[in-house]
Structure 1
């Protein structure tokens, strides 16, 4: 499996030497797939998926969390998946400090939510209202790291990338639904239909 992963990564990299090719990649995103997925190395099934990006050519691909740790030496997904598991078992539990920073950096939570979470991070006793806000933020994190959300973000980013070289295209709608997706964890059916129509009509690939 390692040889297949190396081959796939090298094919997407600028360098054709594994030791250098793997250094071109950095962690972008992590999500938990409810539907079973297949890793770039060929391993099936996997559910803990990491999205990585090549810093030299901007290619993006997905690999399982085990492969990203073992062969690429990127450990960013570990704490994210640990927090996903913990919150799925108990929505009132706490995300790790690293995960709070991650989701805020990715604009998955607002400034208010970020500051609030940090302020109650080590508290054992909270008011009912504080507990409810914390659970809401935790659910927002779970939504943000879902397969559905990642799928929607991929389509949004595909259109925005295409728009960089098609400057006559007005991106206001795409930017507005990107904001919605960050806030709510998914697009509405109507928004998704509109997004898919844009991709079809303009033949965006």
Structure 2
């Protein structure tokens, strides 16, 4: 069973009376922060779910821990909250269609049955992803209007061939999709 924690009480004025930055100013600051793009899938047993996230981050290699967050307002979050395991798909620029699929509201993300299948453990996995990790949700943390998921990685997709490692990753920057490539290297 995963633990649920809450940060809401920590978001209060400090001793100087300072309060949180306005949502618009906060969003404007993050528009200049590039982030990798991933697709998260899961299934509590009655309804598979997929959502695009740009909040994926590694936490620890030993044990293998990662985190991502999801808006509490997303229609996918209540379903994700019922799941013990998830699959995180790391996306390259060639998988923009998967990022768009997970980011589009009101569609059946699993309608194309040729695009995905189930792992032997039951989770849905999309075939087009550059790489994926299957993991167990170890903790959920309510943080403002979001839920932060701490996940222990249990399994990884088969290793890619060396030639495939040069595929440009998909990045979200200034509210648009981008691909990193050799021209973006500065040091």
Scaled by the length of structure 2, what TM-score is found? 0.29
Structure scoring higher RCO (CA < 8 A, sep ≥ 6) equals: 2
Q: Which has the higher helix share?
A: 1
Scaled by the length of structure 1, what TM-score is found? 0.27
